[in-house]
Amino acid sequence: MQFQRAGTALFFLSLMSPGAWAVTATEQKILERLEKLERDQSELRQQLQVKDQRIKELESQLALPSAPTAQSAGASPNSGANTISTTIPAANAATQQAVVDVAAEQNALPEKETPEYYGDFTPGRGFSLAKTPYGSMDFTAFSYLRYLNQNGLDDTYTDSFGNVKNIDQRNDLQLQKVMLYFKGWVFDPKLRYLFYTWTSNTSQGDGAQVVIGGSMNYSFSEKFILGGGIYGLPSVRSMEGQWPSLLKVDYRTITDEYFRGSYTSGIFAQGALAEGWQYKAMIGNNLSQLGVSASQMDDTFNTYSLATWWMPTTGEYGPDQGFGDFEQHENFATRLGFHFTSSTEDKQSQPGKDDPENSQIRISDGTAIFDLNAFGPGTQIEQADYQMISFDAGFKYQGFALEGEYYWRTVDQFKYVGTLPFDELSDDGFQLQASYMLFPKSLQVYLSGSQINGEYGDPYDVSLGLNWFPYTGNRKIRVNTELLYLKDSPVGYSSVPFALGGNGTVFTTHFELAF
């Protein structure tokens, strides 16, 4: 019996579990349910046998052929009572009706139903692959198509040291990124995991174009969750966990990109200190580990990042605290945030220039500080200290949102070969983003801008965009189009629409899918 085998398997599985000699209440309930299903199946089989016997007795009384078939009667297999009634022309009406009634009753017996759907779907959690007493697994995915047109950019740019560099403008359509997530808990609902794989298809051939990573954490309380793995340094607001709930699709303003830390391995903690007051903190290997092997890094933990934010008026700022008021707040929601990051970086820990989703230390004309001959023939910085703080503030109300952030960074304590024209690099900048839901939870317009005040130039960007959510109320599916103006962009690589040194206009259109 399949239920007996299931019960036996459950019994041996319980012997292998930590409480091998104690049957839990959950296991007892499962065993009882299996026993009941077995009894029900046995009773159903007995009923079928009784009905078959009754039909045979009636056929015998009528001297009918045994087991008439649908084909001999000229009827379909599902014709039921009609098949039997057409084979007894000489029987009296009462006996005929008895046979018909029995056949109809047999055909009406409940059959095992095939479920129409498998697995539960929960917005934000994706599809449930498993829910058991020993753990759970949910599957989610993120991807988007991007049309990118950079033909409006200048062909070349000149850095602060007189070097002329070419810009390779793109005009293409790409399945830009694919990310697959498996998450849930195991053995203990407080012990959670997140494993993922992602690829930036425009970066094929670059280092770390395909990444497999993840993290694990244990929830001691709402105030303290401790974890480890590959995690985003909470160096700016957009690295706290708002992604992908950004106004743009999977990219930031050039100022946010220029100042922020990125993703690295380390230990992190997070929680809610009080109602409306949360924090994240991390000790990591470096500012950005993607594309950097363990052998390239030093033997010390010297990267620290802390973020804390307060939501004074409503105690919340929407799901994921995302940008823009997609939720149509009826009450005035506000947020204030602070971030601090410090790291000692060396030239070997810096990822390649074209590596996707990596943060690099650059000066404001786009020069990477660890490049050979970056500041003159025969010069190279081998180590430097990076410190950065940022403040953010914003509000949401009835579809309108205004959100801004200020950044300040210093880079000093250089170890280098040759001669440097500075002892310290210091720059600051800001971004400002305004958005409004033209149609609630359906159509959104936004305007954003940012600027860097640096020692080697003052680049900026301005963008005007439109988000359409075709399934009204679902933020995870959207069509985005944006016109972006760049002025001497100090950042850029293949997975973002801005080009390093870019000066001019860029047009993009996206179709984003997340679940």
Which pLDDT score is estimated for 25? 57
Whether 488 and 348 have beta carbons less than 8 Å apart is answered as no
Cα end-to-end distance, the chain, whole Å: 39
Residue 32 backbone phi and psi in degrees, to 5: -65, -40
Would you put residue 25 in left (φ > 0), alpha (ψ -120 to 50) or beta? Answer: alpha
- Provide the percentage of residues in the chain whose pLDDT is more than 90: 56
Greatest mean pLDDT among 50-59, 351-360, 461-470 lies in 461-470
pLDDT, tens digit, 9 for 90 and up, residues 115-146: 566 778 887 778 999 999 999 999 999 999 99
Q: Which residues on adjacent β-strands are paired with residue 212?
A: 197
pLDDT, tens digit, 9 for 90 and up, residues 249-262: 999 999 999 999 99
Report the C-alpha gap between 128 and 2 in whole angstroms. Answer: 25
Q: Which residues on adjacent β-strands are paired with residue 335?
A: 394
Q: Which of 159-168, 395-404, 431-440 has the lowest mean pLDDT?
A: 159-168
**pTM for the whole structure:** 0.75
Say how many C-beta atoms besides its own lie within 10 A of residue 231's C-beta: 25
Strand segments, DSSP code E, in 104-187 are: 121-122, 126-132, 135-153, 156-158, 164-166, 171-186
Residue entry with tokens 């425009």 = 202
SS3 state at 201:
helix
Report the C-alpha gap between 485 and 466 in whole angstroms. Answer: 15
Ordered domains of the chain (ranges, CATH): 2-107 (no CATH), 121-514 (2.40.160.10)
* Of residues 261, 242, 258, the one with CA closest to residue 250: 242
Tell me which of 450 and 93 has the higher pLDDT: 450
Q: Which of 42-51, 182-191, 356-365 has the lowest mean pLDDT?
A: 356-365
Tell me which of 72 and 52 has the higher pLDDT: 52
Q: Which residues on adjacent β-strands are paired with residue 396?
A: 333, 401
Whether residue 69 has pLDDT greater than 70: no
Model confidence at 65, in pLDDT bands (50, 70, 90)? very low
Which pLDDT score is estimated for 47? 76
pLDDT, tens digit, 9 for 90 and up, residues 277-333: 999 999 999 898 877 777 777 777 889 999 999 999 999 999 889 999 999 999 999
120 to each of 159, 184, 192, 243, 320, how far by Cα in Å?
Answer: 54, 14, 19, 24, 22
Whether residue 70 has pLDDT greater than 50: no
Strand segments, DSSP code E, in 187-247 are: 188-200, 210-221, 224-232
Angle between helices 93-107 and 25-62 (to 10 degrees): 160
pLDDT mean over 72-86: 39
Which pLDDT score is estimated for 11? 43
Which pLDDT score is estimated for 17? 42
Q: Are strands 504-514 and 135-153 parallel, antiparallel or unpaired?
A: antiparallel
The residues, any chain, with a CB within 8 Å of residue 251's CB and separated by 6 or more, are 257, 495, 496, 497, 498
pLDDT, tens digit, 9 for 90 and up, residues 268-282: 999 999 999 999 999
CA of residue 441 relative to chain centroid, distance: 20
Report the C-alpha gap between 497 and 151 in whole angstroms. Answer: 12
Which pLDDT score is estimated for 7? 47
Say how many C-beta atoms besides its own lie within 10 A of residue 183's C-beta: 18
* Of residues 468, 461, 467, 515, the one with CA closest to residue 489: 461
Q: Which tokens go with 135?
A: 């753990």
Which pLDDT score is estimated for 495? 86
The DSSP code sequence of 13-60 is: HHHHSTTTTS--HHHHHHHHHHHHHHHHHHHHHHHHHHHHHHHHHHHH
Which pLDDT score is estimated for 79? 39
